[in-house]
Amino acid sequence: MTIIETVLLSVTQNLTSEERQKFGSVNETNKLLVNKARDYNLSQPSLSSTDVDWEEYELDFQDRAFSDTTEQRMSAALRMLTDFKIVHDFDNYQDALTDYDYSKYKAGTKTPGFTEKVADMKVLFPNSGGAGIPPLPKTES
């Protein structure tokens, strides 16, 4: 990740909200125009404006294609990490429920410390008579 961040810092800009709005106006339809202008320049350069630096145009186009592909790959990696985390969160939650049930059992046998532990944990179960804080909503990615 450090290498990726270092490389990105050397070639990208940090846009302000205003700049994002200004530069972000190239929607999917406008990208079709960009592609069509490039196609004409490649196939019939005599029809292309001499006011455009077509070498720079092509470099920008290739950089955009590279960043799009890389963004898709990073999004897929982020999804994998999120799924990885969700599975482990679920495992931890199930084990915590098992521990809570065990603690309730031990509290019922008057084993020292478990009554306090159950009382402390019970507030996390709002529908069980504890004072309770509501559980966090599930997030889906």
In tens, the pLDDT along 67-87 reads 999 999 999 999 999 999 999
What are the CA-CA distances from residue 34 to residues 2, 26, 54, 63, 64 (Å)? 33, 9, 12, 14, 11
Q: Which residue type occupies 127?
A: N
Token couple for 86: 């969700």
Long-range residue pairs from 34-40, CB within 8 A, at least 24 positions apart, any chain: 34/61
For 16-38, how does the pLDDT look when each residue is reduced to its tens digit (9 = 90+)? 999 888 888 788 899 999 999 99
Signed CA dihedral, 34, 40, 43, 45: sign only:
negative
Residues 1 and 9: their CA atoms lie apart, in Å, by 12
End-to-end CA distance of the chain: 21
User: pTM surpassing 0.75?
Assistant: no
Mean pLDDT over 57-75 rounds to 94
Quick check: helix, strand or coil at residue 137?
A: coil
Q: What is the average per-residue pLDDT within 1-10?
A: 88
Query: Lowest mean pLDDT: which of 10-14, 30-34, 105-109, 133-137?
Result: 133-137
Determine the residue type at 90: F
**CB neighbourhood size of 117 (10 A):** 17
